[in-house]
Structure formats: C-alpha cells, structure tokens
Structure 1
Amino acid sequence: MLKRVFVAPDPGRTRLRFATRAVLGIALAVTVCGLAGHSLQGVVTGGLAALLALFTVTDATVRGQAVTTALLPAVGLPVLAAAAELHDHPVARDLTFLAVVGLGVYARRWGPRGHSLGVFAFMTYFVAQFLHATTDRLPELFASVLLSVLSAAAVRFGLWCYERRLPPAPVPAPPGGTGLARVTTRQAVQATAGAGFALVVGQLVSGQRWYWAVGATWWIFVNTTSRGETLVRGFRRVLGTVLGIGLGLLVAVPAQGAALPTAVLAAVCVFGIFYTAAVSYTWMMLCVTVLAGSLYGLLGVLTPGLLALRLAETAVGALGAVLAVLLVLPVTTHAVTDAWIQRALRCVHACTAEAAARLAGDESADPAPRVAELEQLLARVRLSVAPLVHPLNPALGRKRRARRVLALLDDCAREIRGLVAVAADPVASHDARLAAACWRVESAVEALTGGGAVPAREAGREPAVEPALAHLHGLERALAELAGPLRAGSGSPLVGA
C-alpha cells in the first residue's frame, strides 16, 4: 500500500503540484482569517472552506474552475445559515441534513460543477455541526468562508495556476440514463437512506458526535458508482480511520493542540490528503483522521476516547452505506465497469493520435492533457474493478480476468507515457511506419469498444529501433491481448464465469 502511493505515476508532477498548492492556499486562508481577528472557530471554518475550494473544484478549464469557485459561497452560506438557525431544533435540523445529502448527490448529474457544489453544501452543513454554529456567530463564519474562498482563488488562479500550462483533464462523469435508470438519481436515494440510518444509529452511539456517522456515509458515496465500488470504499474508509487513529494517538494526542506542532502536523496532513487522493483512499482517510484529531486538539477536546468514538461512528456510517447499496436500488458492477473500460480505451486512441500528430510536425497537437485524462480514467477503472480483485472475492476466474485487464491497461498507459515523452522531444522525427501503427491501434480500439474482431498482430515483425515505433508496437500487443479477458464468458467485460 505504501509503495502504491509513492511509486504511482504522476505525469507532469500533477499530484505533487496539486498538494503543494493546497498547503499554500489553505495556509494563506488561515493567515488571513487570523489577521482579520477571527476566533479559533472562524479560522477552522476558513481553513476547511479553502480546503474544499481547492479539493472539489475539478472543471475542465480554468474559466470553468473560476466560475465554480465563485459559486461556492452562493451555495454554502445559505446552508450554513440554515444549519445555525436549526441548531436548537433537532428534528428539523436532521431532516434538513438528509435533504442536503440527497440533493448533494443528485447534483452530480450536472457534472463536475454539480459535484463540487454538492460537496461544498454538505460539508458546510457538516462543519456547522462540528462547531455547534449558532446564529450569533454567523457574521464571523460568513466572513471566514468568503475570505478563505478568495484566498484559495488567489493562489489557484493567480499565484500558481499551472493549469494554464497543462489543462486539467475533466473529471469523468458517471454513466447516464433517465429516471431511476440514472446512476445519480439512484445514488441520491441510496445516500439519503444510508445517511438516515447513520443519523439515527449515530445519535444512539453519541448525542454529540453523531454527525461523524453521516459524514462517513456521505464520503463513501462520493466518486463511486456501483454497489461493489461502494462496498470496497466503505472497507477502505474504516481501514484508513483505524490506521489514522493509531497514528493520531502517537502524534496528535501528545501535541495537545500546541500551536506550532499542530500547524506543522495539519500542513503535512493537508499535503497527504491532496497527494494520495487519486491513488489510495485508505491513505487519504488516514490523513483526514489525523487532521481531524489535530483540529480537535486545537479545540481542547482531543482524547483517546474521542478517537475511539470516531471509529465507532465511522463504522456506523459505513454500515449505513453498505445496507443502502445492497437493499435500495442497487447498481451492479459489471455495466459500470464496461463503461469505464470503454472510455479508457477511447482515450488511449486519442492519446496515440495526438502524439502521432506531434511527431508528424503539428505544433498544435498536445497529448499531455490526454495522458492526464487517461490516468483519471484508469483510476476509475481500478475503483470499479476493485470488488472483483478483492482478496475476499470467491469468484477466482473473474478475479484472474480482472487482474489481467488491469495489468494490460497499465501496459497501455506505460506505452502511452513513453510515446508522449518521445513526442515531446523537439528533435524526434516522423517515421513513415508510425502512421500504419497508429491506424492499427485505432482499429484495435474500435474493435474492442464496438464488438468487432481485433486485428491480429503481424508475425515475425522485426523489433522497432525508433523509440516511438517501439511504444506503438507495445501498445498494439497490449490491445490485442485485451480481447481475450474482455470477451470471455458472456461477451461483456468481466461478466460471466
């Protein structure tokens, strides 16, 4: 697990820049709120608002990111006001919380912007419970949110807007449909039901920290699509929380809220959250748990018992999510897996075409954004296939096929990264055989995604001397070998015996 985090590919050092910029943006937001004379609760609110502004906004263009960032307060401030107004009215507070959960998940149907606004709305309501916000503190909390979102925007769009040099890949949207066939609609119902269970049982466990259970249910549903994905994510959330509590006992509890050690620990945790999010949910949750412990240390309430309570509430939330995806409008794994694999294969072709055009002398061709998109899509494939390769999965045949598919897709990605690296070399020349190899890659992808016959590789082909051609030949090989595991059984990817 540790090796996966630090050895995972990071094209263009995107994850490293993402994490470093987050630390700078959140540090600026916290500093600005402190200089404005805000209380500790206001500073914490500001820091979390900046974290969300930097973490959740994933539009495909810088302009789109700026618009979504500007809309965050428009969604968050009314939710914060409602949470504060309903603080002393438990029934109305809880029903409103469930409504925010359902609407937040349903908003995913509008793509990255809907997803970002839904997450920000939920977390604003959650933070209000965390801080026991009341109406008399709203002016300060409003100011903290506004100042922090502005600070995060200043770093993201001014001080360090690396997306202008490398446009970010759009966040893959879940498969479509209409009515209850739409995944986002089904998940909205599931999340509301799961959160309702977590809310009731969480309050039985603790009348003060019940919202942790609802938060666990919510975050298990974020960025998942199928029943299997949600089950695996729930397991990883509990595992990450257990590891984070163990680490928190070693580092957060001894710090006891001391300013300098806590600030350093919080910065490390923020970096870890952003750096590991794309490759390991378990590690991300470890960092989130330690960060939460450090914040409770600042508030003067951190004890080993509190950390144990967090584990119990997380388990309740995970159970709520599991029951919801199993019993309420379940979304099966195989159809979702099929959709993600096909999108990844089409992206492989797009990467190849861009790289070949660049090698042919087209200066406007830029395969780098496509590579970043491919990495995101492969992450989605891994998440979707995770239930099939889990150690507890008894279907050994499907497990072997799933692992073979993942290995071959990783081979495709490796060859694509090598091809793009060659294309970036200004002295790289265009070989006439590249066009034929690119055509064969295109034909293979069309066959895999359209159900046709995958072109056979030429027997006895001489090894390619040119690096670009060698990468294309490797890509052809991986695509040809994918036909077997993808079409075994009933004909749909990874479906059947």
Structure 2
Amino acid sequence: MLKRVFMAPDPGRVRLRFAARAVLGIGCAVVVCGLAGHSLTGAVAGGLAALLALFTVTDATVRGQAVTTALLPVVGLPVLTAAAALHDHPVARDLTFLAVVGAGVHARRWGPRGHSLGVFAFMTFFVAQFLHAGTGQLPELYAAVLLSVLTAAAVRFGLWCYERRLPPAPVPAPPAGTGLARATTRQAVQATAGAGFALVVGQLISGQRWYWAVGATWWIFVNTTSRGETLVRGFRRVLGTLIGIGLGLLVAVPLHGAPAPTAVLVAVCVFGIFYTAAVSYTWMMLWVTLLAELLYGLLGVLEPGLLALRLAETGVGAVGAVLAVLFVLPITTHAVTDAWIQRALRCVHACTAEAAARLAGVPDADPAGRVAELEQLLGRVRLSVAPLVHPLTPMSARKRRARRVLALLDDCAREIRGLVAVAADPEASHDARLAAACWRVEAAVEALTGGKDLPVTDRPLAEEPALAHLHGLERALAELATPLRAPSGSRLVGA
C-alpha cells in the first residue's frame, strides 16, 4: 500500500502541487480568520470552507474553477442558515439534511460544477452539526466562510495558479442516461435512503454525534457509480477510519489540543488528504480521521470514548450505503466498468494523435492535457474494477482477467508517457513511419471499442523512441483483446 501511494505516477507533479497549495491556502485562511478576531469555532469553520474550496472545485478551465468557487457561498450560506435555524427542531433538521443529501448527489448530473456545489452544500450542513452552530453564531460563521473562500481563491488563482502553466485535466463524468437510467438520479435515491438509515440508527447510538454516520454514507457515494464500487469504498472507509483512530490514540490524544504541535500535525493531515486522495481512499480516510481528532482536541472534547463512537458511527454509515446500493435501484459493476474502459481506450488514441501531431510540427498540438485526462480515466477504471480484484472476490477467473486488463492499461499509460516525453523534445523530427503507426493504434482502439477484429500488421522493430512507444502501445492493445472478449461466463465487462 505504501508503494502504491508514494510511488504512483504523478505527471507534472500535479498531486504534489495540489497538496502543497492546499496547505498554503488553508493556512492563510485560518490566519486571516484569526486576524479578523474570529473565535476558534469561526477559524475551524473557515479552515474547513477553504479546504472544500480547494478540494472539490475541479472544472476543466481556470475560468470555470473561478466561477464555481464564487458560487460556493451562494449555495453554502443558505444551507448554513437552515442548519443553524433548525438546530433545536430535530425532525425538521433531519428532513432538511436528507433533502440536502439527495439534491447534492443529483446535482452531479451537471458535471464538475454540480458535483462541487453539491459537496459544499452537504458539508456546510455537516459542519454546522460538527460545531453545534446556532443562529447566534451565524454572523461570525458567514464572515469566516466568505473570508476563507476568498483567501483560498486568492491563493489558487493568484499566488499559485499552476493550472495556467499546466493544462488541467477534465474530470470524467459518470456514464449518462435518462430518467432512472441516469446514474446520478439512481444514486440520489440510493444516497438519500442510505443516509436515512444512517441518521436513524446513528441517533440511536448517539444523540450528539449521529451526523458522523450520515457523513460516512455521503462520502462513500462520492466518486462512485456502481454497486461494486460503493461496497469496496465502504470497506476502505471503515479500514481507513480504524487505522486513523489507532494513530489518533498514539498522536492526537496525548497532545490534549496543544496549539503549536496540533497546528503542525493539521498541516501534515491536510497535505496527506490532498496528496493521497487520487490514489488511495484508505489513506485519505486515515488523514481525514486524524484531522478530525486533532480538531476535536483543539475544541477540548477529544477522549478515547469519542474515537470508539466515531468508529461505530462510521460502521453504521457504511452499512447504510451497502444496504442502499444492494436493494435500492442497484447499478451493476459490469456496465460501469465497460463504459470507463472504453473511454480510457479512446483517450489512448487521442493522446497518440496529439503526440504524433506534435512530432509532425503542428504548433497547437499539446498532448500533456490528454495524458492527465488519461491518468484520471485510469483511476476511474481502477475504482470500477476494484470489486473484481478484491481479495474476497470469489470469481477467480474474472479476477485474473481484471488484473490483466489493469496491467495492460498501465502499459498503455506508460508508453503514452514515454511518447509524450519524446514529443516534448524540441529536436524530435517528423518521421513518415509515425503516421502509419498511429493509424494502427487508431485501428486497434476502434476494434476494441467497436467489437471488430483487430488488424493484423507486420510491425517492424524500431530503434527510434517515438516508434518504440507506439509499437509498445500496439502490443498492449492487441493483448487487451483477449481479456475483454472472453466468453460471457468469465468476461470482465459486458456481462
């Protein structure tokens, strides 16, 4: 697991920049709240608002990111008002919370902006429960949220806007559909049902910390589509929380909320959350859990019994998510996996075409953005295939095929990265054989995504780096035909 997290490919050091900028942006937001005279509660609310502004906004362009960031308070402040106003009216509060859950998930149908606004709305309600916010605290909380989002935006779009130099990768949207066939609609119903279960059972366990269970259900549904993805994510959330609680007993509890060391560890946790989010949900949850423990230490309420309660509430939330995806409008793993694999293969062709155009001297050709998009798509493939390669999966033949597909797709990504590196060399020149090799890659992708037979070609050995990477791509694509077209009883996708 350590190797997967710290040795995972990071083209352009995007994850490293993402994490470092988050520490800077959130740190500045907390400092600004302190200078404005806000209490510890206001500073915590502001820091969490800045974290969400930096973490959830994933539009494909800097302009789009700026617009979404500006809309966060427009969505969040009314939700914060409702949460505070309903604090002493449990039934109305609970029904409103479930409505926010359903609307937040359904908003994903509008792409990255809808996803960001939905997450911010949910987390605003959640943070109000976390801080036990009442109407008397609203002016301070309004100011803290606005100042923190503004500060985070100043860091993101002014002080450290690396997206202007590195093309941002578009966030892949889930497979589309209409009505109840649309994944986001089905997930909205599932998430609301799962959150309802978590809310009721969570309140039976604790009248004060019940919202942890609802939060666990919510975050298990984030960035998942199929039944299998959600089950695996639920397992990883519980595992990450368990490890984080163990670490908290060793680190957070002995600190007793001491400000200086706690601030340093909070910065480490923020970095860990942002750096590991794209490669390991278990590790991300470890850092999230430790961050929550440190914040409770600052608020003066951290003790071992609270950590045990957090684990219990997380388990309830995971059970709620599992029951919802199993029995409420389930979405099969195979259909989703097939959609992501097909999109990844088409991106392989697009990367190849951009790199070849760059080598041919086309001035506007820039494959770097396509490579980042491919990395994101492969991440979605790994997420969707995770249930098939899990150690507890009983279908050994399908598990072997899934692992083979992942290995070959990783081969494709490695060859693409090498090809793009060659294309970036200003001394690289056009070679007539590139066009033929790229055509063969295109034909192979069309065959795999369209159900046709792969073309049989005589691929000569090549010493030139660009051709070597293209021929490596051809080999990987040709080998993918076997696991993707297995007999229906053991096929990886389409079953």
1:259 match: 259
1-structure distance, mates of 2:460, 2:255: 63
The CA deviation at 1:432 is 1.3
Answer whether contact 1:457 1:477 (CA < 8 A) is retained.
no
Answer whether contact 1:418 1:471 (CA < 8 A) is retained.
yes
1:271 match: 271
1:120 match: 120
1:225 match: 225
2-structure distance, mates of 1:435, 1:496: 33
SS at match of 2:311: helix
Return 5+ residue gaps in structure 1 as ranges.
none
2:436 match: 436
2-structure distance, mates of 1:111, 1:137: 33
Return 5+ residue gaps in structure 2 as ranges.
none
Answer whether contact 1:402 1:494 (CA < 8 A) is retained.
yes
2:154 match: 154
1:488 match: 486
1-structure distance, mates of 2:115, 2:123: 12
1:478 match: 476
1-structure distance, mates of 2:453, 2:119: 43
1:356 aligns with 2:356: yes
1-structure distance, mates of 2:179, 2:436: 44
TM-score, structure 2 as length reference: 0.99
The CA deviation at 1:363 is 2.2
The CA deviation at 1:294 is 0.3
Answer whether contact 1:398 1:496 (CA < 8 A) is retained.
no
The CA deviation at 1:392 is 0.6
SS at match of 2:28: helix
1:345 aligns with 2:384: no
1:88 match: 88
1:247-305 deviation per Cα after TM superposition (whole angstroms, max 9, x unaligned):
11111111111111000000000000000000000000000000000000000011111
Answer whether contact 1:226 1:336 (CA < 8 A) is retained.
yes
1:417-461 deviation per Cα after TM superposition (whole angstroms, max 9, x unaligned):
000000011111222111100000000001111111111242xx4
2-structure distance, mates of 1:254, 1:464: 61
AA paired with 1:467? P
Structure-to-structure mapping, 1:168-183, within 5 angstroms: 168-183=168-183
1:327-359 deviation per Cα after TM superposition (whole angstroms, max 9, x unaligned):
100000001000000000000000000000111
AA paired with 2:410? D
2:105 match: 105
Structure-to-structure mapping, 1:43-442, within 5 angstroms: 43-442=43-442
Answer whether contact 1:167 1:369 (CA < 8 A) is retained.
yes
Answer whether contact 1:345 1:445 (CA < 8 A) is retained.
yes
The CA deviation at 1:361 is 1.0
Answer whether contact 2:238 2:318 (CA < 8 A) is retained.
yes
Structure 1 residue corresponding to 2:466, chosen from 465, 468, 486: 468
AA paired with 1:202? G
AA paired with 1:122? F
The CA deviation at 1:493 is 6.0
1:445 match: 445
1:50-81 deviation per Cα after TM superposition (whole angstroms, max 9, x unaligned):
00000000000000000000000000000000
SS at match of 1:454: coil
The CA deviation at 1:491 is 9.7
The CA deviation at 1:154 is 0.1
Answer whether contact 1:102 1:191 (CA < 8 A) is retained.
yes
AA paired with 1:484? T
Q: Which stretch of the first structure deviates more once superposed, 45-54 or 245-254? A: 245-254
The CA deviation at 1:463 is 2.4
The CA deviation at 1:166 is 1.3
1:103-144 deviation per Cα after TM superposition (whole angstroms, max 9, x unaligned):
000000000000000000000000000000000100000000
The CA deviation at 1:492 is 10
Q: Which stretch of the first structure deviates more once superposed, 486-495 or 129-138? A: 486-495
Instruction: Give the number of equivalent residue pairs.
Output: 495
Answer whether contact 2:398 2:491 (CA < 8 A) is retained.
no
1:81-111 deviation per Cα after TM superposition (whole angstroms, max 9, x unaligned):
0000000000000000000000000000000
1-structure distance, mates of 2:73, 2:338: 37
2-structure distance, mates of 1:259, 1:375: 39
1:356-381 deviation per Cα after TM superposition (whole angstroms, max 9, x unaligned):
01111112110000000000000000
Task: From the superposition, tell whether residues 110 and 244 of structure 1 become closer, same or farther in structure 2 (CA, over 3 Å).
Answer: same
SS at match of 2:251: helix
Task: From the superposition, tell whether residues 421 and 493 of structure 1 become closer, same or farther in structure 2 (CA, over 3 Å).
Answer: farther
Q: Which stretch of the first structure deviates more once superposed, 475-484 or 167-176? A: 167-176
Q: Which stretch of the first structure deviates more once superposed, 227-236 or 255-264? A: 255-264
2-structure distance, mates of 1:113, 1:146: 19
SS at match of 1:48: helix
2-structure distance, mates of 1:133, 1:342: 47
2-structure distance, mates of 1:10, 1:463: 30
2-structure distance, mates of 1:210, 1:140: 25
Answer whether contact 1:443 1:455 (CA < 8 A) is retained.
yes
2-structure distance, mates of 1:438, 1:37: 61
1:6-29 deviation per Cα after TM superposition (whole angstroms, max 9, x unaligned):
010000000000000000000000
2-structure distance, mates of 1:4, 1:249: 26
State the identity %.
87
SS at match of 1:190: helix
Answer whether contact 2:273 2:284 (CA < 8 A) is retained.
yes
1-structure distance, mates of 2:96, 2:102: 10
2-structure distance, mates of 1:22, 1:145: 16
1-structure distance, mates of 2:407, 2:37: 54
1:134-189 deviation per Cα after TM superposition (whole angstroms, max 9, x unaligned):
00100000000000000000000000111111121111111111111110000000
Answer whether contact 2:338 2:494 (CA < 8 A) is retained.
no
1-structure distance, mates of 2:44, 2:434: 55
The CA deviation at 1:462 is 4.0
Answer whether contact 2:356 2:434 (CA < 8 A) is retained.
yes
